[in-house]
Amino acid sequence: MIENLSIRQATINDIDFIIETIIEADKGGTDIISACNILNISEQKYKKILTNILTENIEGQEYSLSGFLKAEIDAKPVGALGSWIEGAAGVSSYILYSNILLNYLEREKIPEVLSKFKITKEISFKREEGAIQFEYGYVKEEFRRRGIYTKLMIESLKKHYLENKSIHKTQGICYRKNYKSVNAALKLGFNIAESKISGDEGLKKIFPYNEKVLLEMKKGEMDKVSEM
């Protein structure tokens, strides 16, 4: 672990780096941004939408600024990870996420986007209510393999679990071929609870990969991580 590494709550001044985190995590090491493909918008427009959403900070879903922790070395950003408690806002993160995005689209685009949402469900997982959710984790290339992503996972879990020990599970959804993130999660105590793969040609035009896994950590392992 890097001695001068610090991890803190993201603020309004960190929006640019959180946008970088979201987009790079979505790409999964490729040049494909699935959100842009789903919404049929450019990367530049997507960044503008993300700026507005993060500024608004609607909690309980993956685009909440207050859900992100940011890793820094000598006050310079090196990584970030988003998290939230599923259902804590009284509605599922999927409904919140969908409605937020649709709110920023031209009305004539909405039917096409909704049809793409249906396609993406083939490799989607139901997030369990009351569970900690990890989404959009990223570490800059030159700072990888130093334990930064693992530290972000640990601190993100502690952020929620130390406030409420009744939380029974932590979940994360990841591309199967994102080996570094998957392996880091497995080493920390996650297991692969489920895998979904699709041969749908429409889906291949949306995502960089056609297989995702649901990673889960149960209470016993969460207790161990909370003591790290």
Whether residue 1 is predicted with pLDDT greater than 60 in this model: the reply is no
Q: Which amino acid is at 20?
A: E
Average pLDDT over residues 161-178: 94
The DSSP 8-state label assigned to residue 80 in this structure reads E
- The CA R_g of the chain, rounded to the nearest whole Å, is 17
Average pLDDT over residues 25-49: 92
Average pLDDT over residues 15-43: 93
Q: Name the fold adopted by 5-226.
A: Aminopeptidase (3.40.630)
Average pLDDT over residues 2-27: 94
CB 49 within 8 A of CB 101: yes
Model confidence at 159, pLDDT cuts 50, 70, 90, reads very high
Residue at token pair 């994360």 = 172
Paired strand residues for 214: 173, 194
pTM above 0.75, yes or no: yes
Position 116 scores a pLDDT of 85
Report domain extents, the chain. 5-226
Say what percent of the chain tops pLDDT 90.
Answer: 72
Position 6 scores a pLDDT of 95
